[in-house]
Amino acid sequence: MNRKAFIKLLGAGAVGVAGGAMLRCAGDSESSPAVDTPAASSGSAAKHWAWMGEGNEGWTLDQWKQQLGMMREAGIGAVLFHEGIKILRDLIPAARQLGIEPHIWNVTMMEGGLEEEHPEWYVVNRDGESAGDKPAYVDYYKFMCPSREPVRQFLTEQIGALAQIEGVASIHLDYIRYPDVILPVSLWPKYGIVQDKEYPPYDYCYCDVCRAAFEQQTGLDPLELEDPPSHEAWLQYRYDTITRVVNMLAEVVHQHGKQLTAAVFPTPDIARSLVRQEWTKWNLDAVLPMVYHSFYNEDVAWVGEATRQGVEALDGKFPLYSGLFVPELTPDELAQATELALANGADGIVLFQGRTLTEAHWRHLSAVIKG
Ligand SMILES: [Zn+2]
């Protein structure tokens, strides 16, 4: 399957291989600028979002205006525009004019194309294989190592450039994680694998820099550990490297007066155990967990349970918006999932993706969110 078809199937960052919604209001930090959208200023507490761009990169400005106007009418207040959209810089002011808060959706740790110049930047698995030339699962699964200073510098420059675009509300990090050491359970048959525990080909990163940094902290070489998957300090080292990247990027975007948001795995527990995200510790202005029930062989009711877990773990630290995987929801179910998310403490929902809704989906959704 090619990348586009795969991402289409898996979704925003969705799962990174499912990852990223491949895929961001106001927090409690004084450095976070307030967001002045009609939705935020209307007195309505909830805000609803959509990821957009995978598949719409080539749309004309008129096509976008038509779509965004319809979405605003249906109750959507914020759109995460994929960084690959050709007319991105024209789209930002156009969205503002239509009353839509514009965010830029950035694929963060997964970055193909630097294999020749910087082969050492890519993560290395427990078998010693680099994602730069032998990625796990799919050919584009080329993640960079968060422990490496040049990688962190590269990300700082990339995110800093996006944060300078006028009118953007936030930079939205997607694929801000390690490759899935365990895939969401519904994907196991697709790859013909059973991941009942962490296996070496999917377990990252054992590069020289990570090994040396962990050894400096603990005196231990991660490759020499008897059972790396059960070693708490080694797990925590990797949660912390991603957390440090996020918090570094938060400083960058806040310096430009913008917010930082992120697409993450659905609950704090699942995010840690599948992709090493400890997102409750991140300095975000909002988090958008991909509560894609079908990836975990769950029913729609799970959207409420998973949302509750995230909201309780955050304890008000920043807002949470529940990401919904529209291709696996009927119009009725979309309405039901939205009600469940809101009833369980979400500040709104996020659609993956905006263009996949049928007229019936919009009608049922709108009835709930415009109430
Ligand atoms: Zn590394």
- The per-residue pLDDT for range 111-158, each reduced to its tens digit, is 999 999 999 999 999 999 999 999 999 999 999 999 999 999 999 999
Sequential pLDDT tens for the chain (371 residues): 333 333 333 434 443 344 445 432 333 333 333 333 333 333 357 999 999 987 888 899 999 999 999 999 999 999 999 999 999 999 999 999 999 999 999 999 999 999 999 999 999 999 999 999 999 999 999 999 999 999 999 999 999 999 999 999 999 999 999 999 999 999 999 999 999 999 999 999 999 999 999 999 999 999 999 999 999 999 999 999 999 999 999 999 999 999 999 999 999 999 999 999 999 999 999 999 999 999 999 999 999 999 999 999 999 999 999 999 999 999 999 999 999 999 999 999 999 999 999 999 999 999 999 87
CA 357 to ligand 1 centroid distance, Å:
40
Spatial contact of 285 and 318, defined as CB atoms under 8 Å apart: yes
| DSSP β-bridge partners for residue 105 | 82, 172
DSSP H helices, 87-191, are 88-97, 149-163, 188-191
**DSSP label at 283?**
-
Q: What is the 3-state secondary structure (H, E, C) of 295-309?
A: HHCCCCHHHHHHHHH
DSSP H helices, 75-225, are 88-97, 149-163, 188-191, 208-218
CA 293 to ligand 1 centroid distance, Å:
31
pTM, to two decimals: 0.89
CA 274 to ligand 1 centroid distance, Å:
17
Here the contacts of 137-140 (C-beta below 8 Å, separation 24 or greater) are 137/17, 137/179, 137/180, 137/183, 137/191, 137/202, 138/1, 138/3, 138/6, 138/17, 139/3, 140/3, 140/110, 140/112
Select from 343, 347, 298, 300 the least CA-distant residue to 322: 347
CA 145 to ligand 1 centroid distance, Å:
5
pLDDT of 23 reads: 32
CA distances for 38 relative to 28, 101, 225, angstroms: 20, 9, 54
CA 139 to ligand 1 centroid distance, Å:
19
Q: What is the 3-state secondary structure (H, E, C) of 315-343?
A: CCCCCEEEEEEHHHCCHHHHHHHHHHHHH
CA separation for the pair 112, 134 (Å, rounded): 12
DSSP calls for 211-266: HHHHHHHHS--GGG-S-GGG-HHHHHHHHHHHHHHHHHHHHHHHHTT-EEEEEE-S
Q: Give residue 160's Cα distance to chain centre.
A: 18
CA 38 to ligand 1 centroid distance, Å:
44
CA 263 to ligand 1 centroid distance, Å:
22
Query: Phi, psi at residue 285, to the nearest 5°?
Result: -100, -15
Cβ partners under 8 Å of residue 192, min gap 6: none
Cβ partners under 8 Å of residue 1, min gap 6: 9, 138
Spatial contact of 222 and 228, defined as CB atoms under 8 Å apart: yes
CA 106 to ligand 1 centroid distance, Å:
21
CA 323 to ligand 1 centroid distance, Å:
30
pLDDT of 20 reads: 47
CA 204 to ligand 1 centroid distance, Å:
7
CA separation for the pair 324, 361 (Å, rounded): 12
Location of structure tokens 């801000």: 176
Query: Domain limits of the chain?
Result: 3-369
Task: Look at the domain 3-369 and name its fold.
Answer: TIM Barrel (3.20.20)
How does 170-183 read in b/e, with b if 16+ C-beta sit within 10 Å?
bbbbbbbbbbbbbb
CA 177 to ligand 1 centroid distance, Å:
12
Q: What is the mean pLDDT of the chain?
A: 90
CA 286 to ligand 1 centroid distance, Å:
28
CA 105 to ligand 1 centroid distance, Å:
25
CA 216 to ligand 1 centroid distance, Å:
14
CA separation for the pair 24, 255 (Å, rounded): 16
| DSSP β-bridge partners for residue 37 | none
Location of structure tokens 């509300």: 169
CA 327 to ligand 1 centroid distance, Å:
35
CA 224 to ligand 1 centroid distance, Å:
16
CA 209 to ligand 1 centroid distance, Å:
5
